[in-house]
Amino acid sequence: MPHASDTIVTRFAPSPTGFLHIGGARTALFNWLLARKHGGQFLLRIEDTDKARSTQEAIDAILEGLTWLGLDWDGDPVSQSARADRHAEVAEQLLAGGHAYKCFATPEENAAAREAVRAEGRAFLGDLWRDRPHGPETEGKPFVIRMKMPREGNTVVDDAVQGQVTVANGVLDDLVLLRADGSPTYMLSVVVDDHDMGVTDVIRGDDHLNNTFKQVQIYRAMGWDCPRFAHIPLIHGADGKKLSKRHGALGVEAYRDMGYLPEALRNYLLRLGWSAGDEEVIPTKRALEMFSLDGVNKGAARFDFDKLDSINAQYLRHMSPEAVMPTIEPFINAQLDRPVDEDEKARILRALPSLLERAKRYDDLSDAAILFCNTRPLNLSEKAAKQLTADNRVLIGDAIKELEKLADFGADQCKAALALVAEAHDLRLGKVMQPVRAALTGGKPFGDLGELVEILGRAETLGRLRDQYSPGTD
């Protein structure tokens, strides 16, 4: 049955055994991009046929992850387990049509045969009962239904990423369609669901490439059209090894908690193993214009946090202080171990344009923003502490005197006051600014010193300076 229209239908089909990891997120992104680019549908299917390992928490985490990433799906997520009857029905059809057969071999018999065949350097085809007549001894015995794979010829998959891949039918095993308890296997379920859901393009990790040849046989036996396949390479850790929990196989929520923007992570994920020329910063709108499966590389790519940081910084720079504030507030509260007050928030809001210039992530941005909270006495970095020599403390004392005289605590006035101190000591302005900056920031980065003082305000500025001039007495 040919598809009614040329509308693109893609799907993301995670098994709910854990969070949405970074590789799954990228697979979802590619599916989403292809569907949205062509005005098609992006469907969600939860592959929960393994009831023992599937959890509701995992489903929630995956949905939350997709939502955070901004990947919206069409319709309600399909639960694969709810469709078991339909899967079984197809298995029966396959059986009736002579494309499948009953296998009475016990797990032990299969294991023994597998070992024996493998010792010869061949793959076990699971075909113990393929051409074996069912005698009366099979009466009442448990059986599975296996696919009767072709043995002659080749199966060719024309993959959008991998190209034309050919495999000899002789190596395709008679996979189990229906288990002894009557439940369908993954191999059957995906094919039936993808067909029934009208999926036109299956984009998934290339760990499924080998399965595809077998699935194609099921499509053929049922007389169904195959969808287009695109097997995208897996993401590797920085060390080139398969992604493990140690290096980067984190849930997307972990990236959120590390302070990354969903737009930036999306951009990074897109460029990891995919390109269309030299463009690096590709916001979603642009991605929708450019995306094509052609640009996907075949080789696995390594995950690189430095580059992610860099992309993230570029997105951060274009955020408005008002948009950023609600997001960094929890980070700030956590570091402060109390909620920020309104006065502090107002100061941070004023400082944000400058802070955003040099931040990489929300977490270091909030770390820098703490500068404008009332956290006296400040913890000094090693570098800052070094600035506060006995001589420099004298300068700070003089700076306090000059600043106290100021009626207007503006940036220019404050700088002028510091210039007076420098003049009195016959020093360059910078020599005075350095220790004053150290006392005021504790070593944290911030732009212009005058701006810093102005935002900090009279009380906080003088307080921080006094802390360093005569520690402990203020």
Partner RNA sequence: GGUCCCUUCGUCUAGUGGCCUAGGACGUCGCCCUUUCACGGCGAAAACACGGGUUCGAGUCCCGUAGGGAUCACCA
Residues forming the active site: 245
Distance CA 196, CA 41 (A): 14
One of 34, 202, 324, 449 touching RNA (CB under 7 A): 449
One of 63, 102, 186, 222 touching RNA (CB under 7 A): 186
Comparing CB distances to RNA, the nearer of 180 and 293 is: 180
One of 59, 222, 254, 300 touching RNA (CB under 7 A): 300
Stretch that binds RNA, among 71-79, 275-283, 402-410, 460-468 (CB under 7 A): 275-283
One of 169, 374, 375, 434 touching RNA (CB under 7 A): 434
One of 18, 445, 457, 463 touching RNA (CB under 7 A): 445
Stretch that binds RNA, among 31-39, 119-127, 254-262, 463-471 (CB under 7 A): 119-127
User: Within 316-335, which residues bind RNA (CB under 7 A)?
Assistant: none
Stretch that binds RNA, among 69-77, 165-173, 322-330, 393-401 (CB under 7 A): 165-173
DSSP string for 387-420: H--HHHHHHHHHHHHHHHT-SS--HHHHHHHHHH
> Cβ of residue 472: shortest distance to RNA, in angstroms?
25
> Cβ of residue 362: shortest distance to RNA, in angstroms?
16
280 binds RNA (CB under 7 A): yes
Residue 370 DSSP label:
G
One of 27, 31, 41, 162 touching RNA (CB under 7 A): 162
Tokens of 385: 């502490």
Select from 235, 243, 213 the least CA-distant residue to 226.
213
What is the radius of gyration, based on Cα positions, of the chain? 32
CA 139 to chain centre: 52
> Cβ of residue 1: shortest distance to RNA, in angstroms?
25
One of 226, 234, 254, 290 touching RNA (CB under 7 A): 234
> Cβ of residue 129: shortest distance to RNA, in angstroms?
10
Comparing CB distances to RNA, the nearer of 318 and 428 is: 428
Tokens of 154: 């080749």
- The CA dihedral of 56, 60, 63, 65, to the nearest 10 degrees, is -130
Residue 19, SS3?
coil
- The CA dihedral of 83, 85, 89, 90, to the nearest 10 degrees, is 20
44 binds RNA (CB under 7 A): no
Count of residues that interact with RNA, criterion CB under 7 A: 85
446 binds RNA (CB under 7 A): yes
Q: What would the x/- binding string for RNA be over residues 355 to 394, using CB under 7 A? A: --xx------------------------------------
One of 23, 24, 40, 126 touching RNA (CB under 7 A): 126
Comparing CB distances to RNA, the nearer of 126 and 227 is: 126
Stretch that binds RNA, among 59-67, 195-203, 267-275, 344-352 (CB under 7 A): 267-275
**Phi and psi dihedrals of 128, rounded to 5?**
-55, -35
User: Within 395-424, which residues bind RNA (CB under 7 A)?
Assistant: 419, 422
Distance CA 178, CA 166 (A): 27
Comparing CB distances to RNA, the nearer of 278 and 342 is: 278
Comparing CB distances to RNA, the nearer of 55 and 434 is: 434
298 binds RNA (CB under 7 A): yes
Residue 77, preceding peptide bond in cis (omega within 30° of 0): no
Comparing CB distances to RNA, the nearer of 281 and 341 is: 281
Comparing CB distances to RNA, the nearer of 293 and 300 is: 300
Distance CA 177, CA 161 (A): 28
Beta bridge partners of 205: 232
49 binds RNA (CB under 7 A): yes
Beta bridge partners of 166: 156
140 binds RNA (CB under 7 A): no
Comparing CB distances to RNA, the nearer of 280 and 341 is: 280
Tokens of 382: 């090693």
Tokens of 389: 């020599």
Select from 22, 56, 70, 13 the least CA-distant residue to 252.
22
Amino acid, single-letter form, for residue 254: A
DSSP string for 149-184: ---SSEEEEEETTTEEEEEEGGG----EEE-TTSPB
Residue 18 DSSP label:
S
